[in-house]
Each structure stands twice: as C-alpha cells, then as structure tokens.
Amino acid sequence: MPTLRDSQYRAFARRELHRRQSGRCIYCSRELTKTGPTRMTIEHLKAKMKGGKDDLKNLAAACFHCNQLRGQQMNATKQRKEVKAVSARVSSPALRQDARDASAV
C-alpha cells in the first residue's frame, strides 16, 4: 500500500480529499487555501500511532488551524493520562508514608 511518504501518492491523496470534501476543512468547513492558517493539511482520522493507515479511508483534509488544535488536544489527553499515572504512584502506600514523614517535619 502506498504511504504519504510517497510524494506521488501524497499529491493524489490531497487531490482526492480536496475533491471529496469540496475543498473544505473536515472540522470547521472553512475553505482550504494554499497558504495561511487555513492551508490544507492531511489528517489521519485514526492516528498513525494507533495503527491508522495512510489509506484514503483514514485520511481527511483539515485546515492547518484545526490540525494544530487537534494535535494540542491529543497532547492534553496524553498529559491527563500521565497525571493519572503520577497520582497513582503518589497514592501508593510507601509514598503516602513519605508524605506523612515530610509533613511531620
């Protein structure tokens, strides 16, 4: 299967997505432009990290603005997960003991 690393496939995918979405961003429906904050970017509906493919079925055209926003949201989700992991460690008995010791000082 071709991947987006292939410039020919990338060009094809951009053309196809642009056509499929009538040249509009999948999230905000703004018209995609060549440059600026609404310039077209290719978005993976299922993240590549999660096994998403460079298949047209998994791709969508999004403006740069929305693409950035989504990236930030994904980072926020990741951060929340990390916070959870940290608080799970903090609430382990050994660390609670440390905390008591620290507050006794």
> Which of 3, 22, 28, 39: binder of Zn ion (CB under 5 A)?
28
Burial class (CB in 10 A: 0-12, 13-18, 19+), 37: exposed
Binding mask 65-84 for Zn ion (x = CB under 5 A): -x------------------
Q: Which stretch binds Zn ion (CB under 5 A): 13-21, 56-64, 69-77, 84-92?
A: 56-64
Q: By CB under 5 A, is residue 64 in contact with Zn ion?
A: no
The residue written with tokens 């290719």 in the block is 42
Taking Cα atoms as reference points, which of 75, 5, 74 lies closest to residue 45?
74
Residues that bind Zn ion (CB under 5 A): 25, 27-28, 63, 66
